[in-house]
């Protein structure tokens, strides 16, 4: 779904293409971590993913040749990005809150067992 946001052309397309992917990026990594490492705290997992994602965002201010080589690939661009944006941080926070809530819901509903 995150990749699909980059192709969206409907209502609010500028926001969806620019920021919705950041929300979904957070949710994806949080839920993946909770699925792989069962028993993790959804809240702590979300906080960890948020911190790592924010560090990756700040890393986009640095442009050594080695990172540019990675960023010039589709996967590299999708995973670590290439352009710093202050507007991404609120999206990461929203995604982290949503991911923590979904993880807690899945855990409490017995959908994910430790």
With a cut of 80, say whether residue 58 has pLDDT above it.
Answer: yes
Scored b (16 or more CB within 10 A) or e, 58-89 reads eebeeeeeeeeeebeeeeeeeeebeeeeeebe
Chain-wide mean pLDDT for the chain?
Answer: 89
Whole-number pLDDT of residue 111: 59
Q: CA 84 to CA 20: how far, in whole Å?
A: 16
Rounded Cα gap, residues 34 and 23, in angstroms: 17
- Scan for tokens 């069962």, then name that residue: 38
d(CA 52, CA 25): 12
The per-residue pLDDT for 52 is: 96
Region of poorest pLDDT, from 75-79, 85-89, 92-96: 75-79
- Among 109, 106, 80, residue whose Cα is nearest residue 22: 80
Quick one: pLDDT band at residue 113, thresholds 50, 70, 90? low
**Domain range annotation of the chain:** 23-108
More confident residue, 61 or 3: 61
Closest CA to 49 of 96, 2, 3: 96
Q: For 16-37, write each residue's pLDDT tens digit.
A: 887 888 899 999 999 999 999 9
pTM of the model: 0.82
Report the pLDDT averaged over residues 80-99.
Answer: 93
Structure-block tokens of residue 34: 């909770």
């Amino acid at each position: 779904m995150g990749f699909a946001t980059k192709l969206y052309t409907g209502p609010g397309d500028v926001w969806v293409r620019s920021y919705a992917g950041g929300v979904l990026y957070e949710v994806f990594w949080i839920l993946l971590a909770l699925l792989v490492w069962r028993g993790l705290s959804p809240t702590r997992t979300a906080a960890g993913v948020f911190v790592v994602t924010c560090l990756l965002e700040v890393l986009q201010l640095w442009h050594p040749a080695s990172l540019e080589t990675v960023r010039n690939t589709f996967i590299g661009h999708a995973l670590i990005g290439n352009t710093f944006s202050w507007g991404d941080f609120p999206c990461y926070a929203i995604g982290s809150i949503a991911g923590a809530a979904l993880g807690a819901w899945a855990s409490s509903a017995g959908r994910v067992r430790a």
